[in-house]
Structure 1
Amino acid sequence: MNALTTTNFKSAPEGNLPLTPAECAVVDYMISGKTLAEYAADKGISKRTAEQHVSNARKKYQAKMAYNLTATVAAERERQRTVEYLKAAQESAQLIYAGRKGTQTGIVHLRLSAVLRMLLSDIKNGIGVNAHFNPITLEGLVPAVDRHLTDTEFEEEQEALKALEAKSLPVGGAL
């Protein structure tokens, strides 16, 4: 079981307490479409106890209704999964870049690593990823990615591009 499984999900908005295992379990049931009565019967507790778990979780998430709670928790879980996938992809791109510095493949992976770092940063800060793929904001994508390259990475990229141009090798548009 990893940190993304539903039973291990315990984060809550900043300043709020994490969900207890019982609160996580009842929210899991609700997300899966089951009722509180079904949860109570499966767990051998009263429906009132199940309702209290939901009430406590709603307070922690400042959710007015149960559906607000389930939507928020489901979205947070998806955000966490996305962060984990982007981290793994960014680390892979960085490893490939490290092994191929000075090559076109290395430059592409350096740039990819920076794009993934930017997306990770935005997701962690609550900025929607779609903002980067909106045609209106697409012009700002390259400068935004450039800001996520370290000075050393940017210099290495520029040197590699010059070396590739000197060898008359085609430089892809993604660079």
Structure 2
Amino acid sequence: MSTKSLIVVQFGDCSINFRRHWGGDPVIVGSEMLDHLASAETIKPRSFFHTGSYLLRLMFADGYVDDGLPTYEAYITNDGNDGVYGDWEIAYRFECDGDGIWRVGYVELCDGEPWAELAETAKWFSPTEFREFIEQKYVKDQSQGITYDVQVKDTLLKQLRNPSKGS
């Protein structure tokens, strides 16, 4: 079973919703998004360029290297309305204020609600605090024997590429 998630990226007047089918757990997608955010800051060619636009570039490119499938799919809403339900279990919001300060909103145990309905229940973190939260969650999950669905994805993709070597 895969862990689906909603990831909203907000900066300036730009708000884009993404759906991730695999690896929606904070240990996977949270870590990747924080890594993308850090990379976006370092790869932008001019300091006055917005980190958010480079974050989006990295997200759109993610996943095309090995299997041709996007890791993050832009999720379309009706007429810009944030009221569309989906199938995600976890939701994230990476948003940047006017001073260039990023923060991360996190909601677990979603039932596909749009971010507008989840915002009130979100836990908010700075990127550093969110990384600490993820590390603590990883240690706790490992002590409980929890595995992550991204491992299932890798196995499935290998079987699809080479069906004769399936398990």
User: TM range, normalised to the smaller chain?
Assistant: under 0.3
Structure with a larger share of its residues in helix: 1
TM-score, normalised by the number of residues in structure 2: 0.23
TM-score, normalised by the number of residues in structure 1: 0.22
Q: Which has the larger radius of gyration?
A: 1
